[in-house]
Structure 1
Amino acid sequence: MVKITSIVVEDNSLALDMLVNDITTHHKEIEIIGTAKSVIEAAKLLQKKQPDILFLDIMLGDGTGFDLLEIYPNLTSKIIFVTASDEYAIRAFKFAAIDYILKPYSNEDLENSIKKVKQQIEPQKEQLNILKQAITNQKNNINKISLYTQDKIIVVNIEDIIRCQSDNNYTTFYLKDNTKILVSKTLKYYADMLKDNGFLRVHQSHLINKSQIKEFIKSDGGYIILNNKMNIPVSVRKKADVIDFLKKL
């Protein structure tokens, strides 16, 4: 069996020991060639040898995992991010469309991440930039989102999204330049993500950018006219939310 080399970077001693034990116990094909608890320790390890897989904690005592990636911008290792149960971090990973292991994790979580790495599913540089921006500037709204289509990953400015429409377990994004992007996630997934970025769920099938609202027509069941003249139906139970938003303008 060809061994896959790995380095584990985690600043919590208990979490480090647990992850090392889980890897060596359940994934005999992976050989851990080093561990580190800080950016400096990890940098020294990577200077000697770059592993096939780098298990990288986001928040370290002397900096972040991104500091390490900046020291080695041409790192050839596949990265499996490890993060604590922090709402900002989880939201950031979703916007960047990057997989991660959430502490405390299950053996299934670890197995799935390793399986994806073996399939060479790894984040693009733009996705990492979105993740870094979102985690290091938690007080500011995230301004970009990564969308996985069937054959590529598209990074989109959130302000360029006019609306999103549900199609069962798929969602279509409509952009200002008339581009349409179909992704295999539900509208609810994106409604939860984008609610703090100026988006409003007005119907079971429709999520709209509030800045694109031109008029709200109360007759005929209620519908919104967007700046591009598109009519979007408003469900009965969402009508109060729409009116409340417009009153606050």
Structure 2
Amino acid sequence: MLQILLVDDENDALEALEWKLNNYIDNVQVTTCNSPLKAIDIINKSKPDVVFLDIQMPEMDGFTMIEKVKNRDFNLIFTTAHDEFALKAIKVSAIDYLLKPVDKDELLASMEKIKVAKKGDLLEDKLKLLLNNLSDNSNDKINISADGKVYLLDKDDVVMLKSDKSYTTIFLKNEQQILVSKTLKEVEKKFQFSEFFRVHNSYLINLNHIKEYLKGLGGELIMTNGLTASISRNRKAELFKKLYLD
């Protein structure tokens, strides 16, 4: 009996895929979940053979979810309605995907691949390749997964990032804000460019968007979008060197 987990925030999509699996595929036991957070626990505890994972979900996108899964001994099939950038990265990483609404013949073809593959065959390596592809900054674009989308940001458009416990807000110069369900420490890995500097545990700023420096114990920075960022005392000296301040 093949244990299958479906993860999608859209109940209609869950029900449709569950029906197709139960009616077109023999010897399957299908579990559905509309919460990626709950799905992480199910995967780690129940160890399914196959996971169908939606990419665009408001609580947490599929890429973020798969990063948080400890047990990766399963076959993975991404499902999505649209996401050209993500699909290219998935295809290059040799991970299967299906476009929604899921076509019967494509579903059968994906399941045939799984039957001849070993459980979780090289999935760890494929996921590493996928995450590397998504994190590829060779064109100076910064990709951020949030709101069920993958944002491709220009470095100069990012003014600063602010931490709020397990969430991070990215402030853009057009006043747009992107809320990411990751800590600043996790998101900071995407911003390994000379323009960005961690001035405080709660703030990562773009040096090119500093407008003013306000003196004080640690001091504060006024950014070009009018927001302020606090400076830690232990980061002050290094910041001054970067800004050529006395």
TM-score for the superposition, normalised by structure 2: 0.49
User: Larger RCO: Structure 1 or Structure 2 (Cα < 8 Å, ≥ 6 residues apart)?
Assistant: 2
